[in-house]
Chains A and B, each alone.
Chain A
């Protein structure tokens, strides 16, 4: 039974870490836009090829 003297402080430490993560998440605006973050994983990152076409496109469109 005296093991709880060790286990409970460890549990407390976990809770503290949990609270720390929660505070970080709130402060870094993770909860500000729930729609956006929930689907962002679906989108692939751009293929590297596209970045180049993109730059040429940017140059084209600016003067017009």
Chain B
């Protein structure tokens, strides 16, 4: 069934599961993963979950949405969906994205140039349902029929008529979580149509109107963050304890004893990390602290609500949640009276605060925001750190470009300059820079870990990144060579952690992933012991 052609008509009308995902149909990987038997298996949902949860798209459930029990429930859901659909095209309800969405709805020439750019579509073995325009064409038809004047009549005339049934909406709901919003498709579109935006706007109907979102983004994500201070659930006291522990660890690893500046009013910079770093990759905030201390930068961390967690998941599914979190970040910066906010190694936090929030902040909240990549570059250029790149000579490095930081924000060179300064054996993946491929964890995928969604992520959405990593190191793929994928983004690291584990990349090929600052500290001549511990954790 998996290679069958699926039309929009099938999508709307066919009953049962549309597509069965089969690793045998996915694109072949480079060695040593060119044999199916060493690739991970694709877990099927249990029979019970299939019966219970909406999974008729491809047998994967990101949303864990229970199947409605009767026709009445279905009818209510369809009505809500249509009400949300109309709001997407209302200038007040959706001022945030109405114009770009309208342009995308009106001007697609259906040339399918975008299809070749999409890693998910290609890696899946070109399954129709993942083609970038598949999702958009459905929304376009619904928009033309249910939102535009005279739509019902013209829909019949044009041969594009589809009905908003629950079967279709349930599939569309899951389909809006099969795209990482990497916007590679939009970049290749000759007209400037944006299928990634369609994904995001669809998610908004489900979240803002129907209250349906993947749990890690909303209930455990932005709601948790606004309630406890961090999407990790870490409130102020455990955060402060954590920092204290990291201070001790820094002393142990480097011999440097210093307090991390905390809640310091009047500092030049408020540095905001992704809070996941403190828990999963503490060496990253440690390395930042070491560099900023050694360079004598005036900065502070904050233990205030949201300000020690740069994540803003709203950027992927909900404008209101986005604005709430962004304003919290700005509010703390305002209270501290800092000159600017600097965002740590987290791609989506970068885009959220610098680009997206730029049209949310006004007056005193409009405090300048800057990337840590540029700050690091400036520090390195200034010569304030004594560095010896040969200290990283035992490993070959490559750089992953986080979509949010690079394609969607244009921060391309600073991190490269830094990496070149600390690694003699740096090589670029192809393609790279603004033409990069997503890690596969974008738009919330990295933190969506329930049921069999990680199989989709590891085997389909992260597959191109895996391919690029294997390709760039192909001549030294044997485990005797140490290889390091520098990924200056918590989210990308999250996706890589899972993908590396699923394929056994560390054990089989001796490839490790990590941030940029760790490499910098590893090259600092004043620190005796290597900072990077070459082990999988």
Is this pair of chains taken from one and the same complex? no
Instruction: State the B residues within 8 Å of A (CB).
Output: none
